[in-house]
Chain A
Amino acid sequence: MFWETVRLSLTSIRRNLLRSFLTLLGIVIGVAAVIGMLTIGSGTTEKVKQDIAKLGSNLLVVRPARPDRSGSTSFTPRPLTEKDVAGLRSGLENVRAVAAVAQSTVRVVYGAQNISAQVTGTDDEYLAARDWNLVLGRSFTESEVRGGANVCILGETVRKQFFGAGDPDGQSVRVGKTSCTVIGVLESKGTSGFGQDQDNVVMMPLLGFQRRIAGNRDIDSINVAAQDGVSTTQVQSDIEGILRDTRRIAPDADINFEVRDMTQVADAMTSATTTMTGMLGAVAAVSLLVGGIGIMNIMLVSVTERTREIGIRLAIGAHERHILMQFLVEATVLSLLGGLIGIALGLGIAGLAAVSMSIPFAPSLAVILMAVGFSAMIGMVFGFFPALRGARLDPIEALRHE
């Protein structure tokens, strides 16, 4: 009996194929929007998580505070210094690594080739702080760090540009006005969430960078990696305590540096995508509503067109519930069909977006099942009134209908 009804509804949908399809458009668009957006959204979230993981887990970044745009500041701006780094190294507990960093974009030359790369002056703890491995060679020795030796480690982009299939180890490259010997190559990290090539880098000992490239002793940032399972909030307040000391900031004065917890940045970015997904969800809900009204409309037309058929069915013994079922199933099958087309379309869009935005394609079975359930529900809800109207027809009147 049930399959009979489903078959009947498919026949009826097939007979009015164009009309059925146009009716479905609202549902198709709504479901495609929901599926597409949720899939892209979770892909983006996934991507952000991966990026943060690439930054290094449990990473805290200390930077000097900048005066805000109005110029009125409650603190005295001061760069970070060796003393701050030393203070953190000796004072912090539960941390894996503390690395001082100074950076600038510099032209790097090898033979006839040149590339503009991010040059980072840092120390031997930097790689640990950023969870970054070498694929070739070695990191800086302590003496190289202390002496600011002319050695450097290349990012994958720089290596490929200069050496292709050749061996970079021991080669000499020019960084700005100085030259340095390549001692290692970093593993590739790919593009960051902000579209920046994280492999277009050259690393050298901080002191060498300061002397030969920056021309000053400033430190741009200090990367601190907390140990696993340690509260980054605790480490953050420890850092603040120590730096107040080394930078001689009175306990009631504002600090002239900032400590950014990258875990929180990740959360903030994730919640931003969630908010965006939610907003697009609202748009999708509206188009589903429009789709539902479309279903209701077409079912009313269908009931009117088939008044005589309903009369015949009632006369030969159909109960109200049989007629109700027939049209309810038809509406449900119709909107379910729209839902399935919408799911396919939405996944297709999300797939394209995944490729073009280089984010993971992350379809969720739960979301797909939800869309299936939701479109079936729309059919039932919006099909109910027309179906009831058909079921309540008077058989005599219905039989007289032309």
Chain B
Amino acid sequence: MAPPLIRFDKVWKSYGQGEARVNALAGVDLAIDPGQFVAIMGPSGSGKSTAMNIIGCLDTPTAGVYAFRGVDAGRLDRNRRAMLRNLYIGFVFQGYNLLPRTTAAENVELPLIYRGVGASERRKRALKALAQVGLTGREHHTPGELSGGQQQRVAIARAIVTQPTLLVADEPTGNLDTARSHEIMDLLTGLNDNFGLTIVMVTHEADIAAYAHRTIEFRDGRVSADTRNHELA
């Protein structure tokens, strides 16, 4: 059995000092294997986003160990974590977070720039990623000229253009209507099935969570439930 891609070992994350101290995460233990599709649920303020930031190597635990690919990511400096993100992690946000006034292709090329990939190779891979998310013909549209669902597809293309190991998605369908949400979930499921892309996704909706293999529930900074979805069985 391969070692887990993601392992939380008594992870704490605290904000503020003294009286005002808030424990966003209060001793979380967690392991996610490569290739898993995991949904994270829980009430607002339960620590989901905090956990996602740590999983995505954007943030580090206050206490405990976060190991990503067996590496203690919590001890890495900013630039090393930036490198990990660039090499292994793709991000999809609720608000798409595309660069405004910048074409879809240019947005998708962005992570490759920081990898030092040459311009023509970048363009080639970006167009391929856009084709994968079904946006052929929209390459030169700016976010303002695209619908919400299309913008989220561009964001997904940008996340997968580097062929990452892990996709971190914090409420990827939060801004979309039901039909669009299911299209996005079909896309993510396809990426998980076809490329073995590990996906960790926060959602509030049970029918969205149902696309995942496994649902982890957070409550008050702790994991309150961890269930395998029966489809997998």
**Across-interface contacts of B85 in A (CB, < 8 A):** 315-317
Assembly CA distance A318 to B99 (angstroms): 14
Segment of B34-42, B75-83, B196-204, B219-227 in the binding face: B75-83
Assembly CA distance A315 to B228 (angstroms): 30
Q: Are B79 and A320 in contact (CB under 8 A)?
A: yes
Please give me the 10 A-B residue pairs with the lowest Cβ-Cβ distance, nearest first: A317-B86, A316-B111, A317-B114, A317-B85, A319-B79, A318-B114, A319-B82, A312-B97, A395-B58, A317-B82
Which of A15, A308, A318, A396 touches B58 (beta carbons < 8 Å)?
A396
Which of B86, B93, B98 touches A399 (beta carbons < 8 Å)?
B93
A252 at the interface (CB under 8 A from B): no
Interface residues of A in 383-398 (CB under 8 A from B): 395-396
Assembly CA distance A315 to B92 (angstroms): 10
Chain B residue nearest to A315 (CB atoms) is B91
A313 at the interface (CB under 8 A from B): yes
Which of A311, A316, A396 touches B86 (beta carbons < 8 Å)?
A316
Q: Are B158 and A316 in contact (CB under 8 A)?
A: yes
Q: Are B87 and A317 in contact (CB under 8 A)?
A: yes
B113 at the interface (CB under 8 A from A): yes
Q: Are B53 and A396 in contact (CB under 8 A)?
A: yes
Q: Are B58 and A313 in contact (CB under 8 A)?
A: no
Shortest CB distance A326–B (Å) = 10
Q: Are B83 and A313 in contact (CB under 8 A)?
A: no
Shortest CB distance A165–B (Å) = 70
A4 at the interface (CB under 8 A from B): yes
Q: Are B114 and A399 in contact (CB under 8 A)?
A: no
Which of B53, B91, B116 touches A316 (beta carbons < 8 Å)?
B91
A309 at the interface (CB under 8 A from B): yes
**Across-interface contacts of A295 in B (CB, < 8 A):** none
A368 at the interface (CB under 8 A from B): no
Residues of B that sit less than 8 Å from A by CB: 53, 56, 58-59, 78-79, 82-83, 85-87, 91, 93, 97-99, 101, 110-111, 113-116, 119, 158, 162
A112 at the interface (CB under 8 A from B): no
Q: Are A399 and B115 in contact (CB under 8 A)?
A: no
Q: Are A15 and B101 in contact (CB under 8 A)?
A: yes
Given A313-B110, A316-B114, A317-B114, A396 contacting B78 (CB threshold 8 A): no
Can you spell out 17 A-B residue pairs with CB atoms less than 8 angstroms apart?
A1-B113, A4-B113, A309-B99, A312-B110, A313-B114, A315-B91, A316-B85, A316-B86, A316-B111, A317-B86, A317-B87, A317-B114, A317-B115, A318-B86, A318-B114, A319-B83, A320-B78
Shortest CB distance A360–B (Å) = 48
Chain B residue nearest to A4 (CB atoms) is B113
Most buried by B among A15, A316, A321: A316
Q: Are B59 and A396 in contact (CB under 8 A)?
A: yes
**Across-interface contacts of B59 in A (CB, < 8 A):** 396
Assembly CA distance A248 to B97 (angstroms): 99
**Across-interface contacts of B53 in A (CB, < 8 A):** 396
Interface residues of A in 7-43 (CB under 8 A from B): 15
Assembly CA distance A317 to B115 (angstroms): 8
Interface residues of A in 260-292 (CB under 8 A from B): none
Assembly CA distance A309 to B98 (angstroms): 8
A63 at the interface (CB under 8 A from B): no
**Across-interface contacts of A309 in B (CB, < 8 A):** 99
Assembly CA distance A308 to B91 (angstroms): 15
Q: Are B83 and A317 in contact (CB under 8 A)?
A: yes
Shortest CB distance B37–A (Å) = 21
Q: Are B97 and A399 in contact (CB under 8 A)?
A: yes
Which of B58, B101, B114 touches A322 (beta carbons < 8 Å)?
B114
Most buried by B among A320, A395, A399: A395
**Across-interface contacts of A4 in B (CB, < 8 A):** 113, 119
Given A4-B113, A320-B78, A315 contacting B58 (CB threshold 8 A): yes
Chain B residue nearest to A5 (CB atoms) is B113
Assembly CA distance A52 to B215 (angstroms): 94
Assembly CA distance A396 to B53 (angstroms): 8
A109 at the interface (CB under 8 A from B): no
A101 at the interface (CB under 8 A from B): no
Shortest CB distance A378–B (Å) = 27
**Across-interface contacts of B58 in A (CB, < 8 A):** 315, 395-396
Other A-B contacts than A315-B56, A317-B86, A396-B58, 13 sampled, CB-CB below 8 A, are A4-B119, A309-B99, A312-B97, A312-B110, A316-B86, A316-B110, A317-B82, A317-B83, A319-B79, A319-B82, A319-B83, A320-B78, A321-B79
